[in-house]
């Protein structure tokens, strides 16, 4: 794996960890209704995961074929291009259900610093 891809994977991992930490002890409603700052922070972290994913080389994506690259990048595109209509139920599902397995996969692949 080249250095650029390792940096991008670390960015994905860091942003995914942040997003999951942000929602610890929170309810789904807090994302949209009760805490605008929380909602913005979580959405931004998910966006960063997708942006970094979009820049990972085809070779590294192939080596990590168990990661759902298209879905991750697609989520980023929906957030960025349709920001007025972010569905916080979907964001909550992504962060609470999809990011923990992604974190596990990235941790196993990336060498410790």
Report the catalytic residues.
Answer: 76, 81
d(CA 12, CA 105): 11
Angle, helices 3-23 vs 99-109, to 10°: value is 150
Q: Determine the 3-state secondary structure of 20 from DSSP.
A: helix
d(CA 106, CA 32): 28
DSSP type of residue 86? -
Following DSSP, what letter does each residue of 31-56 receive, concatenated?
A: IIII-HHHHHHHHHHHHHHHHHHHHS
């Amino acid at each position: 794996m080249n250095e650029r891809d390792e940096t991008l994977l670390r960015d994905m991992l860091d942003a995914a960890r942040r997003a999951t930490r942000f929602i610890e002890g929170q309810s789904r409603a807090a994302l949209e209704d009760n805490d605008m700052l929380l909602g913005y922070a979580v959405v931004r972290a998910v966006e960063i995961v997708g942006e970094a994913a979009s820049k990972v080389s085809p070779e590294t994506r192939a080596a990590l074929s168990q990661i759902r690259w298209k879905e991750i990048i697609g989520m980023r595109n929906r957030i960025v291009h349709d920001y007025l209509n972010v569905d916080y139920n979907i964001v909550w599902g992504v962060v609470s259900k999809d990011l923990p397995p992604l974190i596990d996969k990235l941790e196993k692949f990336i060498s410790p610093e």
